[in-house]
Structure 1
Amino acid sequence: MTSTALKQSLSLKESGIRWLWLAVLVFIIDNGTKLLVMDTMGYGWPNRIEVLPFFNLLYVHNTGAAFSFLSDASGWQRWLFAVIAFGVCGLLMYWMRRTPATNKIANCAYALIIGGAFGNLFDRMYHGFVVDFLDFFYGDYHFPAFNVADSAICIGAALLILDGFKSDKAAKDQ
C-alpha cells in the first residue's frame, strides 16, 4: 500500500483528528484568560500590572492581525481575518485527518494553531477586536502585546518547522 493510500484509509481513531482535544483546551484557556483580564483589569497603559522587570499585564484591544497589522483599517479587516481563520483551520483539520495520530509533533502543531485561530476568531466575531494582555519589554522597547492564542499559534508554527526538518532528515536517511 502506498503512503497516499495509507493516509486516505486512516480511521478517525488512527488519524490526527484525535488531537483536536488540544485545540479545544487552547481555546478554553485562551478565552478564560481573556475573560479574566476583561473582568478584573482596567483598559490601557495606566492600568498595567507590573509583574516582572521585563513583563506587564496590559489589557488592550487589537482590531488588526499580528502586531496590529491593518488595525487602522475601517472594519473590513475583521471579516477578512475571519475568512482566513476558517480557511486555515479547515485546511489544518484536513491535514490532521490524513496524518497518523502517532505523528505527535505535526498533530500537536496543527491543534495549537487551530485552537489559537479559533480563540482569536471568537474575540473578533463577538467583540470586534482581539483582547491582548501579555506585554514583554526591554528598556523602552515593548514587544506588541499578545495573548494565549497568539502564543499557541507561534508554538504550533515552530513545531511545524521542526517537524519539517525531522521529515527532511528522515527522507535523506532512507
Structure 2
Amino acid sequence: MKPVSRQGLAAYGLALVVLALDQLSKHWILFVYDLPGRVSEHLFGPLALTMVWNRGVSFGLFRADQDLARWLLTAFSLVVAAILAAWARKAVRPLLALGLGLVIGGAVGNAIDRIRFGAVADFIDVQRLGFFPWVFNVADSAITIGVALLLLDSLRKEPAT
C-alpha cells in the first residue's frame, strides 16, 4: 500500500480539526450554554442561536423520523467519509485536500450526533438575513464549503504533460 500523500495528511488533519470544533461547539451549546432550555436566543445582527434537532440530512432536508432511517443516514455518512478518506490518501492538490477534509470532518461529526442523540444538533440561525431559513451547525458548514471546494477543484485545467 502506498503511503499517504502530504495533501492527504493535511486532509486528515483538517477533518480532525472540523470534527473537534463541531463536537466542542455542540457540547457547549447543549451542556454549558443549555440552549435546549432556552430554545432560541438572539445574539447580534442576523445571528441567533436556535435549538433544532435535525432528523434529516443537512439543513433538515429529507426528514427521517423512523429509527431505521436514522441508522441508514448514519451508515451513509460514515461510508461516504470512508470513501473520501480513501480518496484523500492520494490527494496531490491543496484545494482537493481542503474540500475532502471539510466534508469528512462534517460527515463524521453529524454521524456522531445521530449515534449519540438520535438526531443532529443544529443551532446556528441566520434567518434574520431573510434568504436563509435553515438552522445549521459547524459540520453542516464544513460539508457545504467542502463540496463547493470539491466542485471548484473539478473545474481546474489539467496541466499539460
State TM-score, norm by structure 1. 0.81
Question: Matched residues in 2 for 1:142 and 1:160: separation?
Answer: 23
Q: Secondary structure at the match of 1:58?
A: strand
Counterpart residue type for residue 74 of structure 1: Q
Match of 1:117 in 2: 107
Match of 2:136 among 131, 146, 154: 146
Which structure 2 segments of 5+ residues have no match? none
Give the 3 Å change call, closer, same or farther, for CA 24–138 of structure 1 in structure 2: same
Counterpart residue type for residue 95 of structure 2: I
Match of 1:43 among 36, 41, 62: 36
Q: Is the 8 A contact 1:70 1:77 kept in 2?
A: no
Match of 2:94 among 104, 112, 122: 104
Question: Matched residues in 2 for 1:140 and 1:161: separation?
Answer: 27
C-alpha deviation, 1:60, in angstroms = 1.7
Q: Secondary structure at the match of 2:142?
A: helix
C-alpha deviation, 1:15, in angstroms = 5.6
C-alpha deviation, 1:141, in angstroms = 6.3
Count of aligned pairs: 160
C-alpha deviation, 1:48, in angstroms = 1.6
C-alpha deviation, 1:73, in angstroms = 2.9
Question: Matched residues in 2 for 1:153 and 1:54: separation?
Answer: 22
Q: Which moved more, 1:69-78 or 1:48-57?
A: 69-78
Q: Percent identity?
A: 31
CA RMSD of aligned residues (A): 2.3
Counterpart residue type for residue 156 of structure 1: G
Determine if the alignment matches structure 1 residue 66 to structure 2 residue 58: yes
State TM-score, norm by structure 2. 0.87
Match of 1:127 in 2: 117
Q: Which moved more, 1:60-69 or 1:116-125?
A: 60-69
Question: Matched residues in 2 for 1:81 and 1:163: separation?
Answer: 27
Q: Secondary structure at the match of 2:134?
A: coil
Question: Matched residues in 2 for 1:16 and 1:127: separation?
Answer: 31
Match of 1:53 in 2: 45
Instruction: Please say which structure displays the higher CA radius of gyration.
Output: 1
Question: Matched residues in 2 for 1:25 and 1:120: separation?
Answer: 14
Question: Matched residues in 1 for 2:43 and 2:85: separation?
Answer: 37
Question: Matched residues in 2 for 1:97 and 1:37: separation?
Answer: 34
